[in-house]
Structure 1
């Protein structure tokens, strides 16, 4: 997987997937989505991988739908078919599986947003457990004002859960570009860094996360997801249940030994 629409390499347990159609601002082409599905399958099966960095080459992180391809396909549709049906099939077969696959990987995912995250690229940029962006990057939802359609790639789901309904609705309806600085200020992303430090910061963060207890990543995700739907009482009870189970586990025992011995804990991998 060293060539093609998605580059892939591994450094000391940290995998790096790089969108590689930079000359076109990395649209969600069929080949790019296929490459991401390959990455997902590889990371799931290679137990030596303990974290994933998702980033891109070129001026943009991801420009969303491949509208040039859509235009060509619309002119070639068979009788009885339509562009809408084609896009619906593509989303079901590749687009949604890409998002869900990245969101549910058994390792922490760091997204390093190097440039524009537009359209479906907005959702792809936010798929990580932690997201950092270059200062020149921006986030853009053109769906409603430019195309008369709704955001996809879970942009509405993610936006409502990070910055709230008012702010994500404003971005959707106005098509206003959100700078990386403002995205960090709003809490849409973890941090905004100078462009020339983005990759270094992303690798440092991924390396830090790779040292965490592997199972704790899934536990933390599940707890945050549950908090979105639970009452306070239900969330307190879930915390009680998981704490009772996890404190009897190997990771907590190692953490306690490390505390007593005044050293950093060393946790097992996946």
Structure 2
């Protein structure tokens, strides 16, 4: 039986493919565990970039509502207390978002179809998001009486502004990929048939980049929303001190002077 997460190890980078197409790649405990293990592996020095995508006609439909429906039905029959969904969020979704944001490597997301609920917000947690032209992003929580999680209430207003974020969260209407790009929610829309190839080219390019520099860029951008200008300037100074002592900085300068492509190693020494 094929794994629910396909892990394709390339030279210096990894492709992680959600593989529950019959459930629109909805997340369950097993898939969360496999993702956690794969992202832990990606933290090793040999991996310098990650591509996250899905199989079939959806990127990810969020939580597998089949399990929620069974629990709700049992609640109706027995009158017992319903399951605490906050426990599920804390055990699985919050750690996943933190792993993606804190991974010291760039994470590219290729949204190959519908990204709904937590699936949409997992995509938004990634560093660069490409989407198929037919893809849609749906904050589906309110339609089943829930609240956006997986960072949705954090990412949306910062990416597209409060007015649009409120409408998407409250109405739960699908947002076409081309509108998502126009609003600044994602990086790029490509034709459906070209998505995987374009995403792989981008991940391979990032895997050959100055990995430590890219990690510090992520760190600075992650901190910027909580910092005032003075704190951010201080952080930039400190990170630049570190970057300026790396072999990749020396190589980058030499390559520029010699008018050739840089051969970055991503190593500290």
Per the TM superposition, whether the score is higher than 0.5 is: yes
Q: Distance in 2 between the 1:249 and 1:11 partners? A: 25
**Are the counterparts in 1 of residues 160 and 184 from structure 2 also a CA contact under 8 Å?**
yes
Q: Distance in 2 between the 1:149 and 1:4 partners? A: 30
Query: Superposition RMSD on alpha carbons, in Å?
Result: 2.0
**Are the counterparts in 1 of residues 109 and 128 from structure 2 also a CA contact under 8 Å?**
yes
Instruction: Give the C-alpha shift of residue 76 in structure 1.
Output: 4.4
State the partner residue of 1:267: 264
State the partner residue of 2:37: 38
Q: Distance in 2 between the 1:60 and 1:139 partners? A: 10
Q: 1:143-165: CA deviations, max 9, x gaps? A: 12x12221011111111221121
State the partner residue of 2:65: 67
Instruction: Give the C-alpha shift of residue 230 in structure 1.
Output: 2.4
Structure 1 residue matching 2:43: 3-state secondary structure: helix
Unaligned 5+ segments in structure 2 are none
State the partner residue of 2:24: 25
Which residues of 2 match residues 209-228 of structure 1 at below 5 A?
209-228=206-225
Instruction: Give the C-alpha shift of residue 140 in structure 1.
Output: 0.5
Q: Distance in 2 between the 1:267 and 1:83 partners? A: 53
Q: 1:200-240: CA deviations, max 9, x gaps? A: 00000001111111111221112112221222333233323
Instruction: Give the C-alpha shift of residue 103 in structure 1.
Output: 1.9
TM-score (norm 2): 0.92
State the partner residue of 1:103: 101
State the partner residue of 2:146: 149
Q: 1:15-64: CA deviations, max 9, x gaps? A: 1110100111111112221221121122123x321111100001111111
Are residue 162 (structure 1) and residue 159 (structure 2) matched?
yes
Instruction: Give the C-alpha shift of residue 117 in structure 1.
Output: 0.5
TM-score (norm 1): 0.92
Unaligned 5+ segments in structure 1 are none
**Are the counterparts in 1 of residues 71 and 83 from structure 2 also a CA contact under 8 Å?**
no
